[in-house]
């Protein structure tokens, strides 16, 4: 995949040194280290969302879906056995 979207930051020298040391320990370049760490944190933020605002009709449909028993199908077993995309 071609990387075409630049992200630039200014940091304190001590922060740059810290990032360099950590990246070096993992045998990564600084950019890869920062990108991996930022993406991991972004995934955590998105996965930690607990507040969903919906209208009453949507909420009722959501509650009804939660109350239905889960069918024990092969598709469900396959889904639950699959590794998460972020793992």
Residue 15 lies in a domain: yes
Q: Is residue 32 part of a domain?
A: yes
Q: What is the pLDDT of residue 16?
A: 97
- Please check whether residue 81 lies inside any domain of the structure: no
pLDDT at 1 over 70: no
**Structural domain contains residue 34:** yes
Q: What is the pTM of this model?
A: 0.57
Q: CA–CA separation, 18 vs 5, rounded Å? A: 25
Could you tell me the residue range of the domain that residue 50 belongs to? 11-54
Residue 60 within any structural domain of the chain: no
Q: Residue 11 contacts by C-beta under 8 Å, 6 or more apart in sequence?
A: 19
Say whether pLDDT at 5 is over 70.
Answer: yes
9 pLDDT tier (thresholds 50, 70, 90) = very high
Residue 2 lies inside a defined structural domain of this protein: no
* Mean pLDDT within 27-40: 96
Domain count, the chain: 1
pLDDT digits (tens, 9 = 90+) for 36-68: 999 999 999 988 888 888 999 999 999 999 999
On whether residue 40 sits in a domain, the answer given is yes
């Amino acid at each position: 995949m071609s990387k075409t979207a630049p992200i630039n930051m200014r940091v304190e020298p001590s922060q740059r040194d810290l990032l360099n040391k950590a990246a070096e320990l993992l045998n990564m370049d600084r950019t890869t280290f920062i990108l991996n760490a930022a993406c991991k944190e972004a995934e955590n933020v998105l996965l930690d969302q607990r507040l969903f605002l919906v209208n009453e009709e949507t909420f009722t449909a959501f509650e009804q879906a939660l109350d239905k028993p889960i069918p024990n199908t092969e598709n469900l077993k396959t889904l639950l056995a699959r590794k998460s995309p972020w793992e």
